[in-house]
A and B are shown apart, each in its own frame.
Chain A
Amino acid sequence: MSQAEPDTQAPAFQLKGSMLAITVLELVRNDLDSLDRQLAAKVEQAPDFFNNTPLVLGLDKLPEGGLEVDLQALVELCRKHGLLTLAVRTGQAAYIQAAGHLDIPVLPPSGARERKLDLGGKAPAKPAEPQYRPSRVITTPIRGGQQIYAQGGDLIVIAPVSPGAELLADGNIHVYGPLRGRALAGIKGDTNARIFCQQLAAEMVSIAGHYKVAEDLRREPLWAEAVKIGLTGDVLNITRL
C-alpha cells in the first residue's frame, strides 16, 4: 500500500567527521604579480599538481597593517593556475567580509603545525621501477574448452595442452609437453614475445597478432618437433629448440 511512498522518517543523510589533507597557499606578502610569475614557474615543474587542486588560501601570515590583498583577484589568479579555492584562512575582519561577498567559507588562523609541501619539481617523477611479475605456472593438463591467460607476464605449462585449449600471455609461452591447442603470446602487442614448446602440434600459434594456423603449421619441417617461435618483422619464425 505505502510501498511507493518515500519513508519520510528515514534519515536522508549522515554527518561524518573527517580529516582532509589539503594544500594551503600561504601568502607572505602582497605582491600578486610576483605570485603570478612564481606560480607559473611551479606549474611548469609539476603540471600534474596544478590540476583543479583544492586549496586553502592562508592570509593569516601577511604582515599586519600592509596593503590589503584584493581577494577576488587572488582567487582568480589561483584558478588560472589550476588551484581552486575552498576556503580562506584569516582572522582579519576585512578579509572575512571579502570572503563573505565571494561566498567563500572562512577558517580561523592556523595554530597547527603544517608541513612545507615539496612538489619535487627538480627531479621529474622517476619512472616507476619495472615491477617483477611472477610467471603463471600450470602443472595439470589443459583441456579442450579451457582458456588460460597470463596477464602481464609469461605462461609456463608443465603438462600437455589439448586440442581446443587456448593459452594467452602478455609475455612468452612455454609448454613442456605437446602443444596441441592454440597459443597466443604477446597479445598486448609485444613483438619480442616467444613461444616455446616440446612438441609442435598446435591448432594455431600467434605472436603479437601475427599467426599461423594448423594447415600452415603442418607443412613446417619442424612439425611435431621441439621448437621456439619468434617474430622477425612480420614473419613468424619457427626454429628448432
Chain B
Amino acid sequence: MTLFRQPQSVALSGNIRPGDVHPVILHEKEFALWRGNDGVAHLWRDRCPHRGMRLSFGFIRENHLKCLYHGWEFRSDGSCQKIPAHPDLEPPTTLCVDTLPVIEKFGLIFAVSDTQKSSPSTHQWQPVRSLFFDFPQEDIVSKLNQLTAISFEESGDIYLSDDQMFACGLQTRSGRQCALHMSTRHRSRRIRLDTARRMVRWRHVITEMVK
C-alpha cells in the first residue's frame, strides 16, 4: 500500500508505548498505530478484514493485535493467527490486514513507502509535543521558524534545529488538516515543558494569522 511520496511523521515515538494503539489520519485515510511489547511500531489500515471494525479500538497481546469486535488476532506482519469463534480453524494465509512500513528516527515515527532501517539512536530523543491544525501542511512549513526561538533547517523528511537538539516531523491529515510533532535531545524536563508551552502559544498565533 503506497499512499504518498514523502515520508510522513505520524507520532512521537515516546508517546506510543509498548501495548498502545492509537488512531492516526494520513491523507484522509484512517490507520491504527500500535507498538508491540517487543518495542516494534506498526501502522495498519484501521479496518479489520472480517467486518470492518476499526483496529485502533483493539488491544495488544504481546506482539499481536486483537480486534475488539470478534477477537480475531493478527500477527505483527498483519496475518491472522486466530479466530476465537472457531478454535480449531487454521485461518487462511490470505487473510491479512493492510500494513504500511514505518521507521523511527529522531524520536519520531514515520510512515515510509518502503522498508528502511530505523535509526538506533532514537531512544536519546524525547517527545516535546504534537500539535494539530485545521489548515494545510504548507502553511506550517512557512511559519516553522517563528516557533519559539528555534530556527529549523529542512533535512529530507525532517526539520532539525540549528543546534541539532530539536526535531520536527510533519503529517498531512487531509488537504485542510495537518499535524506537527516535535522531539528533543535535551534531557532537561524543564526545557521540554517550556518548549511544549511555547508551542501551544505559537499555535494560537499561527491559527490567527492563517484565518
Is B a genuine binding partner of A?
A: no
